[in-house]
Amino acid sequence: MSWGTELWDQFENLDKHTQWGIDFLERYAKFVKERLDIEQNYAKQLRNLVKKYCPKRSKDEEPRFTSCLSFYSILNELNDYAGQREVVAEDMAHKVYGELMRYSQDLKAERKHHLQEGRKAQQYLDHCWKQMDNSKRKFERECKEAEKSQVTYERLDNDINATKSEVEKAKAQFYLRTHMADESKNEYAAQLQNFNAEQWKHFNNSIPHIFKNLQDMDQRRTIKLGETYRSFAEAERRVIPIISKCLEGMVSAAKAVDERRDSSIVVESFKSGFDPPGDFPFEDFSQNLSRTGSDGTISNTPKGDRDGAPAPRSDQKHQMSRTKNKLWLFGKKPKSPSSSPPPPPSSSSRPRPTSHLFPPPRFNSDLVSHYLSEIKTTAPRIPQNLRVLKRGAPSLEDFSHLPPEQRRKRLQQRIDELNKELQKEMDQRDALNKMKDVYEKNPQMGDPSSLQPKISETICNMEKLRSEIHKNETWLSEVEGKQSSRGDRRHSADNHHHTPQGRESPEGSYTDDTSQEHHTPQHRSSPPKPGHPNLDPHEFDDEFDDDDPLPVIGHCKALYSFDGQNEGTLVMAENEVLYIIEEDKGDGWTRARKQSGEEGYVPTSYVEITMEKHGKGS
């Protein structure tokens, strides 16, 4: 159906309908605008959510657990999903909303033009009708005037009293009015014919053409709405494959969660490399009981020992040297009965105490009862060396403050980083050498000698890195050697069904020699005399054969110089600063470590000690 033929007289209604169509299009455009705003806000909130739960962190702090990695993979997929929502909003903005707004402006301009043409045609037809109406009125008026003049002429012509001149004048007036009526009649007929022609043209050509244009415009508007409806849906459909991949990635991340892998990572992260603590040694408290008169071993005890002569380490320490640095189940290791402090250090080094036939007791019955009750009622405590590490023990260059396994990993990590830096320096050196060759072949491009300082600096850096790598590899081989030897000893002990008698001390060092635990002393040396110490060549060997260095628990400053001539002692100069790795056990000697790594005992009265807050006894 055509609006021009069917709606030839509905100009005003068509005007209203086309205006409603444009308003409806703009309303839909407003809907699309609000829809894409929702998409943009949704994408923005998703990105903020991802950013909130995936904060920036250093490489060392990145989690390695499969559950964490899967969660961060889900966050990445969600971030990609948010990007697809932004794509949807962008497509709606450009292909739907923007297109609708541009088309709305075009429709308004086109509608205005067609309506103006219709109004002009209507105005022209009205003008023709007015002309025809005016000519009709004139013709009617002229006819009436002609009739009046005819009546006047006939009256005068019949009047015998009228003069000839009056009759002639009335006759002339009658002929004039009749002529004017004829002209008005002709004009009216012409105007009527013209109006009829214009009216036919108006309702059969002009108005149908204008209404047909309005109909085409309205149909195009309807088609455009259908296209934008399709574009609105296509904006969603185009991102469905990528969104599906995002969802599949989330499912794959969920399947990648491996509880066994996470458990193994926990082991790798926190494994110390220490052996589990062994059994407590049996302490025979009956050895100090009085003997019969026939048993003269007690009476033969040197007087110097019974009188409590100053001795920094008793023979008990030699016998229990392998157990001194074990991991104690109850935290701090019980100290032996206190002895009197040593005399001011003389030129002689650490004195050797008198050997006892039986070692003095280290536990009384109350302590044993207390420890047994603790075994039943309390959970095992964290080893002291791990507590020190957790509190933040001083970090050493060789990571000697860490457990063996963690130390090995840190050293390996540092070696890998140094190798990467070395490779960068080598690549830079090669690039500089190539550039130097180019400059030598083409001097106009640059001066080759200007690159020599940079090449020399790069070579120097390479040498430094190689030195660092060698140093760290030495430490790594030392750690791996200790771990392999410890594994061999553990394997040997398992094969022979030997239970380790040693313990790890709260300071964290480790020894596992059990040859001294239950051996009955047969020969004892005589008590030493002041200034002439009787040294046991194995005493300090047992003290320093630990597999791993002790953690630093404080530092000290030497008040006096000490020559450290005897084995196991440490030479120190006045005002020298040392690390404390073992406190004075009451014998007047403190175990210390130099900054070079050398360890030994120094007189406690010779140093000013400052303990760390996180160290032992804090």
Mean pLDDT of 166-189: 90
Q: How far apart are CA 321 and CA 450, in angstroms?
A: 64
- pLDDT, tens digit, 9 for 90 and up, residues 445-461: 888 888 888 888 998 89
Of 39, 55, 46, 42, the C-alpha closest to 80 is 46
| Beta carbons of 214 and 14 less than 8 angstroms apart | yes
DSSP classification of residue 388? H
pLDDT for the residue 40: 94
| Beta carbons of 353 and 305 less than 8 angstroms apart | yes
Q: Which fold has domain 539-611?
A: SH3 type barrels. (2.30.30)
Q: How far apart are CA 441 and CA 157, in angstroms?
A: 138
Residue whose tokens read 């923007």: 98
Q: Which of 202-216, 255-269, 540-554, 598-612 has the lowest mean pLDDT?
A: 540-554
Cα dihedral 55→57→59→64 (10° resolution): -50
The more confidently predicted of residues 528 and 186 is 186
Of 547, 543, 548, the C-alpha closest to 589 is 543
Question: Is it the case that residue 520 has pLDDT exceeding 50?
Answer: no
Residue whose tokens read 């001795």: 311
- pLDDT, tens digit, 9 for 90 and up, residues 357-369: 334 444 444 544 5
Express as a percent the part of the chain with pLDDT over 70: 70
Q: How many other C-beta atoms are found inside a 10 Å radius of the C-beta of residue 173?
A: 17
Question: φ, ψ for residue 601 (rounded to 5)?
Answer: -100, 140
Q: Is the pTM of this model over 0.85?
A: no
pLDDT for the residue 483: 66
To the question of domain 11-134+206-256 being in CATH 1.20.1270.60, the answer is: yes
Residue ranges of domains in the chain = 11-134+206-256, 539-611
- pLDDT, tens digit, 9 for 90 and up, residues 113-158: 999 999 999 999 999 999 999 999 999 998 999 899 889 888 888 8
Q: Which of 2-16, 266-280, 347-361, 485-499 has the lowest mean pLDDT?
A: 347-361
Going by pLDDT thresholds of 50, 70 and 90, the confidence category of residue 59 is low
Question: Is it the case that residue 548 has pLDDT exceeding 70?
Answer: no
Mean pLDDT of 263-278: 84
Mean pLDDT of 394-414: 80
pLDDT for the residue 90: 93
pLDDT for the residue 327: 42
Of 351, 340, 483, the C-alpha closest to 406 is 483
Q: How many other C-beta atoms are found inside a 10 Å radius of the C-beta of residue 352?
A: 23
Mean pLDDT of 380-404: 56
pLDDT for the residue 447: 85
- pLDDT, tens digit, 9 for 90 and up, residues 323-350: 444 444 444 444 443 333 444 444 344 4
Q: How many other C-beta atoms are found inside a 10 Å radius of the C-beta of residue 196?
A: 12
- CA angle (527 as vertex; 526, 531 as ends), nearest 5: 120
pLDDT for the residue 550: 78
Going by pLDDT thresholds of 50, 70 and 90, the confidence category of residue 6 is confident
- The most confident of 197-206, 315-324, 396-405, by mean pLDDT: 197-206
Express as a percent the part of the chain with pLDDT over 90: 33
DSSP secondary structure string for all residues of 527-585: PPBTTB----TTHHHHHS--SSPPPP-EEEEESS-B---STTB--B-TT-EEEEEE---
Going by pLDDT thresholds of 50, 70 and 90, the confidence category of residue 516 is very low
Going by pLDDT thresholds of 50, 70 and 90, the confidence category of residue 490 is low
Q: Which of 1-5, 38-42, 53-57, 155-159 has the lowest mean pLDDT?
A: 53-57
Burial 120-157 (b: 16+ CB within 10 A, else e): ebeeebeebeebbeebbebbeebbebbeebbebbeebe
| Beta carbons of 545 and 524 less than 8 angstroms apart | no
Mean pLDDT of 207-222: 91
Q: How far apart are CA 411 and CA 427, in angstroms?
A: 24
Q: Quote the mean pLDDT of the chain.
A: 76
